[in-house]
Structure 1
Amino acid sequence: MTDRDYGVPLSEADRDFRDEIRDFLAAALTADIRAVPRTDCERLDRMRLWQRKLHDARLAAISWPTEFGGRRATPVQQLIFNAEMAGARAPEPINRSAINQLGPTIIQWGTDEQRDYYLPRILSADDVWCQGFSEPDAGSDLASLTTRALIRDDELVITGQKVWTSKAHYANRIYLLARTDPNATPREGISYILADLDTDGIDVRPIRQISGGAEFSEVFFQDVRVPLRNVLGPLHDGWRVAKSTLGYERVGQSRTHRIERRLDILLGMAKEPNALSESGFEDTFVTDHLVRFTAQVEALRQIAAQATAAGVRGMSPGPEASMAKLLTSEVDQAMANFGLDLAGAAGTLEPGSPSAAKKGNVAKSYLLMRAATFGAGTSEIQRNVIAERLLGLPRDP
């Protein structure tokens, strides 16, 4: 691979890092990691094993500061890492969201005790985390959440409900928002809390999705007792802490590993006879789409690199995170749609059907991507943030 494949020139240190990643992938992507999992348990075991391999090589969180187990990677090195992982079709680590979102939030807001305890366990996958922000009546309007946490001596007593909680059915910890001062204004009086999911009073109920899977859950809290020391950041000021997490989440969604893999799959489908042409590279309709997707993925690489650089400097992601999230989710959805076009009727068949395109993954991706423009903040919210904070336009009345 030449320097131009990354879209940027490489220094000697960058080339050494690239070679290290390639050597790691060649050795670590063993047959058990590459095998297609037959069950959800096998898939989770593989993701956990893969993260531990990354952790042993100090590659689980390369953008984190070195004192917390990272590499303080440069933006170019993050681009290299994403491209090499995508090119090798490496699986995702089981704690991807905690690495990208919670870990940086703990680094920014946590006490020394919280950093020393939680960060190593995130990297090693000893703890798997899920996020408890959204509620039945507090999705896009997160500040209207009603889950409450009463302060009793040195404990919080939590009662309420969360919904659309990814990974809750296999995670062992949750970070959540709850109202600790009921008399404060909506964006005040909220605290950011770290809790064990096996605590008495917590009930996790999976939600079946359109794809047939159950990656989301409802989580109910009934008089759940959590130590007061588990508050992350200032008590009653969790809204500011949560804004950091949401920024990291939007930046994390712009990591190009998954979306580069999807582009690579589309290119492979276009080379072969498909529902649109015998060879997509000879059809202007197909090539127009592929060129547009390629340009958008390259733009995402650059946005992700800039956002990563800000994080390495200890800065919370700004409104550019909304640009990254908006473009990522809409491009991801558009590519899933185009995959269905290329596959034709076979693309509508689900996993298990003998004639299903890509073993049913075309249909599965299409269905899963219906939610891409909702998760981590809807596209409408991202456009409002961009309009107000980047373009200086007035807020909606």
Structure 2
Amino acid sequence: MAARAVDGPERDYGVVLDEQTRAFAAEVRAFLASALDADMRARTGGEAGRVERGREWQRRLNAAGLAAISWPTEYGGRSATAVQQLVFNTEIAAARAPEPVNRNAINQLGPTIIQWGSPDQRERYLPRILSGEDVWCQGFSEPDAGSDLASLRTRGVIDGDTMVITGQKIWTSKAQYANWIYLLVRTDPDAPKTRGISYVLADMASPGIEVRPIRQITGRAEFNEVFLTDVRVPLTQVVGPLHGGWRVARSTLSYERVGQSRTHRIERRLRSLVSLAARSGTPQAPLGDAAIEDRLVRFAAQVEALRQIAADATAAGIRGVSPGPEASIAKLLTSEVDQSMATFALELAGPAGTLERGSPGAADDGDVALAYLLMRAATLGAGTSEIQRNIIGEKLLGLPRDV
């Protein structure tokens, strides 16, 4: 796919770019100008259409070597610097590019396999994560093990060279179209609860796996329940030590909490918010009210801080070190800022902001209402804000453990 030059001045990224990074920024902008066509910008086809666009977009990113720039070069990445990651995030957000279908696998599972996986696991799974040939979902949360994840009850019984898994997972994104799942399974019931867990990769086509969609407040069914009944998985698909999966899972959760994809989304929401405030037809437009400007400037400062945190955490991942408790700062701030911006958009839009997609006169074609409803869960997913504050207090501030 031939790339064409992008006209216009170089973007201000808030940092000084060296020659290599300027060249990288130009490459990304040229790629977006060429690859982000009308098909990729379309919003037709519902959930199935969105998934297929995500597959195709990931294929295009991978062909250009841009699917996972933070990964080490030997695994298909670019060993990108923190500034290069910041540049990439900024350009993707500015272009309003779709999310790759394997967003979570690229940002969470891939770095975990790089850090903890065997050579065979890296060779087998990483290329197919990048290409989108395998689509992954995460099987961590359970009905009685959400914020207290170590209380999980899904069990894995060793039978020769296989593990037999039985249990239930919930709030599993993408399970309805994923063909692989990464699971936490209790394999030593007699050990302390964080020491008897294994981290397992399973084929969703395995006999005994059933997926049931969960309808959300938006009317969509992005989450699912996953039931596992005597599912057999080879022990070669255990990542890290058997019974030692809690440490592996903590790496994944740290990557999830930083979430490069979260910074993409929050930057897109900020741009949409500024556009909404400035657009004629909204109650407060054109943008000129000092209070509105103050809110927007505060959001912009918070988003910039989050971009820097995410870029620094990605740089740590390049060195093979999972983000530490600082990731909880990123997760806490991102979810609460994201939720606040969605609420502010509803205030700006007025009554039109309450109208759903397909309704005449709906603000931003219904995106304002959709974002507001979706963001009700922002402070719950990937660990509640209360959990993140406990981690920050205990691990960073040295406060007594919450009991």
Structure-1-length-normalised TM-score:
0.98
Do structure 1's residue 10 and structure 2's residue 25 form an aligned pair? no
SS of corresponding position for 1:338 = helix
Do structure 1's residue 260 and structure 2's residue 267 form an aligned pair? yes
Whole-Å Cα distance in 1 between the matches of residues 72 and 231 of structure 2? 34
Aligned-residue offset at 1:284: 1.5
User: How big is each residue's C-alpha offset from its partner over 1:280-328, in whole Å with a ceiling of 9 and x where there is no partner?
Assistant: 2x10221111011000001011111111111111111101100011111
2:202·2:237 contact (CA, 8 Å) conserved in 1? yes
Aligned-residue offset at 1:32: 1.2
Structure 1 letter corresponding to 2:234: P
1:345 corresponding residue in structure 2: 351
1:168 corresponding residue in structure 2: 175
Structure 1 letter corresponding to 2:13: Y
Aligned-residue offset at 1:278: 3.0
Structure 2 letter corresponding to 1:174: I
Structure 2 letter corresponding to 1:283: D
Please say which of residues 40-49 and 269-278 is displaced more in the overlay. Answer: 269-278
Do structure 1's residue 305 and structure 2's residue 282 form an aligned pair? no
Do structure 1's residue 74 and structure 2's residue 81 form an aligned pair? yes
Counterparts of residues 243-392 of structure 1 (less than 5 Å): 243-252=250-259, 255-273=262-280, 275-280=282-287, 282-392=288-398
2:68·2:130 contact (CA, 8 Å) conserved in 1? yes
Q: Percent identity?
A: 69
Aligned-residue offset at 1:140: 0.6
2:150 corresponding residue in structure 1: 143
Structure 1's unaligned 5+ residue stretches are: none
Aligned-residue offset at 1:144: 0.6
SS of corresponding position for 2:291 = helix
Do structure 1's residue 195 and structure 2's residue 202 form an aligned pair? yes
Do structure 1's residue 49 and structure 2's residue 56 form an aligned pair? yes
Please say which of residues 44-53 and 253-262 is displaced more in the overlay. Answer: 253-262
1:111 corresponding residue in structure 2: 118
Aligned-residue offset at 1:276: 4.1
Whole-Å Cα distance in 2 between the matches of residues 254 and 393 of structure 1? 31
User: How big is each residue's C-alpha offset from its partner over 1:120-162, in whole Å with a ceiling of 9 and x where there is no partner?
Assistant: 0000000000000000000011111100010000111111000
User: How big is each residue's C-alpha offset from its partner over 1:184-203, in whole Å with a ceiling of 9 and x where there is no partner?
Assistant: 11111110000011110000
SS of corresponding position for 1:177 = strand
2:260·2:310 contact (CA, 8 Å) conserved in 1? no
Structure 2's unaligned 5+ residue stretches are: 1-7
Aligned-residue offset at 1:3: 6.7
Whole-Å Cα distance in 1 between the matches of residues 212 and 365 of structure 2? 29
1:206 corresponding residue in structure 2: 213
SS of corresponding position for 2:225 = strand
Whole-Å Cα distance in 2 between the matches of residues 137 and 313 of structure 1? 35
Whole-Å Cα distance in 1 between the matches of residues 242 and 149 of structure 2? 18
User: How big is each residue's C-alpha offset from its partner over 1:173-216, in whole Å with a ceiling of 9 and x where there is no partner?
Assistant: 00001111111111111100000111100000000000000000
Whole-Å Cα distance in 1 between the matches of residues 65 and 11 of structure 2? 26
SS of corresponding position for 2:158 = strand
Whole-Å Cα distance in 1 between the matches of residues 302 and 231 of structure 2? 45
Structure-2-length-normalised TM-score:
0.96
Whole-Å Cα distance in 2 between the matches of residues 113 and 45 of structure 1? 29
Q: Aligned-pair RMSD on alpha carbons?
A: 1.2
Please say which of residues 254-263 and 141-150 is displaced more in the overlay. Answer: 254-263
1:229 corresponding residue in structure 2: 236
Structure 2 letter corresponding to 1:294: A
1:156·1:225 contact (CA, 8 Å) conserved in 2? yes
